[in-house]
Chains A and B, each alone.
Chain A
Amino acid sequence: MEKVKIYSRFERFWHWTQMALILLLMITGFEIHSTFEAFGFETSVRLHSAAGWAFLILTIFAIFWMLVTGQSKQFVPVRNNVKQQAMYYMVGIFKKAPHPVKKTVDSKLNPLQRIIYFGLIILVFPVQLITGFLYLFFHYPDKPFALEGLEAVAVLHTLGAFLLVAFVIAHLYLITTGHTVTSNLQAMITGYEELEEEEKEV
């Protein structure tokens, strides 16, 4: 076992800022949806809009970072070991079986994570951002272009929000399934995680 740096400073900043913004967006968003009362409707609207802008800016930085560092490869789904990973969560984890796919610096995400995160990055985030900003800038049937009201935009945005909430809940639980219960959490805070030694590529 060796302590390896797997999350760079930007990745950690990105992650925790995203967490904070998504949490804020979730609370304010569902207040706007009239699911519960939190800050008051008007405050929630203003917070939600500002957080949406912050999220957009963060996303632009993240895309820039991915392109520059090539880390986008981490999020590309792979065919191998998808089934094994699923079997691990359903069976292996109860038998103290080893993780089927080794976590390495070059491949931090397991095959299931890759699929889920890829889905978030390619589908859910863009849909939330696009519908969110349509919500902000498109208001009435003919401004700036003809659309039959907010309904389609709003319903799509709500759908994305539910998916994100479900993801966050599952994510909070699944981070406890690392080497130890807190190793994943520690890694995302400190950047370092104890990984099994790997063959050093030369």
Chain B
Amino acid sequence: MKKKLLSAVLAAAMVLSLAACGKNTPASVETPASTDTTSTEVSASAEETKTDEPDARGLLNGKFVDTRHITVELYDRNVDGGTEAGNNAWTKWIQEQMLERYNVEVEFVTVARWTEGDDIGNLLAAQNAPDICYTYNYGQIQTYANMGGVLDLAPILEENKDLVPSMFDWLGDAVIYQDLDPSTGTLWAIEGKRNEICRINTFVRKDWLDKLGLKEPTNKAEFEAMLVAFKDNAETLLGADASKMVPYSISYDVGWRAATLIESFMDPDITDKEYYVNGYDDRKFTENGTKEAVRLLNKWYNDGLIWHDFAEHSGSDDTTEDDMIKAGFVGAFTHNYDYPFRNGKDSINATLAAQYGDGAKFVAVNCFEDKKGGYNKYSYSNTGDRKVFFPATNDEPIASLLYLEFMSQAETVQYLQIGDEGVLHTVDAATGAIVLQAPDEAHHDYYQNSGKNIDMTINCNGLRLATPELTTLSLAFSYSDVDPEDVKTAIAVASKDAQIPPTPSVGDIQAETEGTDLSGKRDQTYDKAVVASVADFDAVWDAGMAEYLAAGGQAIIDERTAAWDATYSSDNLN
């Protein structure tokens, strides 16, 4: 009897656990809040205009008569001390506003920031992708489109242009139709805009320079001499930790973490066509001059001036290098133009100041001269950034367009970026600049999981205030716990001689969906070439480049060349 009972219980337990699995809905999906309160307003406003008939799209005075429901992708950065990505004061505000203005319910679907491509691919394959998706990678959207997974936006925009005036104002035809394929007339994605175009800087430890009586380096020779001085004076600078000295630190992503050096080796007078043809790879792998830049890195590596183990720490979550920089073992590095200022009290500069006093900090310098004597480098392009697309499963394209319209409005973006005065920002009395601050405990729900909520303002990346003047003025004040003067310097250094990359509109490049692991091969070649012996450098670089080109790199270059020639008669856009 006992045995019978036991087995019945066990079987029942298994049934239950299996049933529980079946019911498993994605935990990250959030349903909109406060539907009750707003539904009354909706019926009230509908009553006022009840004499009018809704149009064929179900809209009455720009608002749906029946409540529509859309799902929207949102990056989840899993921030330490942050709020739940899909459920916080900001998402609730967006949901309320969309319901109130357009009678559209918004549901956020969060995907992990660093695996967003994988996640969206899986959701698409499961016919379960959010109605509005965004990504930085156009090749990915092209891949989905080839498989029939993406809606063509061209006819949708054509028929509903009247609904999205703010979007056309904000982005303009050139950006909206940047990805229009001239031969097929399809538009798989709408590009966004980047409102802060500074891209990259090289930083050096100011207090170390002062301690050794050195000036900020202004060219490669001085930079190298500085690294040697750091290395030779490790005892003075680091005392007992002298053996941990890293004069110049890079990561496995050499093409990014030495970009200022690489771009200084490029010809500043390169044509738009040459830039574009080699531009599939945003790490400048196949551009002219890159090999010589890496040869210099290789020399520095073999001279013991570069972090020796950089390539062994290759996980994207590996924080070893950041920890080294924050601990004060690193003399120089290259990164995002504002990298030492990010994250308030946890920022690199704030951490250094807390340990070694206010003088300890990284400052941006222009130290890699190009062949014309300037500091050639590339900023971001203002046009074309994140790309928004609607999966084929989107059955509310018009409601989705209204979401883009809402996100294109200046007030929406401004509120999401700087919030309420006193909570997220103050106004500088002297200049009128907006000074961002972290919310206090009582307003923790207003914490921005991404800087200035860029993950939510999906077609605007970077500060966008009511006027462009106020935006520029406030930029230096948009980092809490950081000296605004350091930010101003960083902006000036990053802008010096910075070229804006051309953004031609030549249609889809099929080869970009076909290469196998091109970014992997690029990084492998960069890494292996840096750590090779000086004698082996050429062989290692050439072999890696040959493999990259054979794996699809050359096909992309060829197709881009052909597409350019078919579209433009000159090698330059202007």
Q: Do A and B come from one complex?
A: no
Residues of A within 8 A of B (CB): none
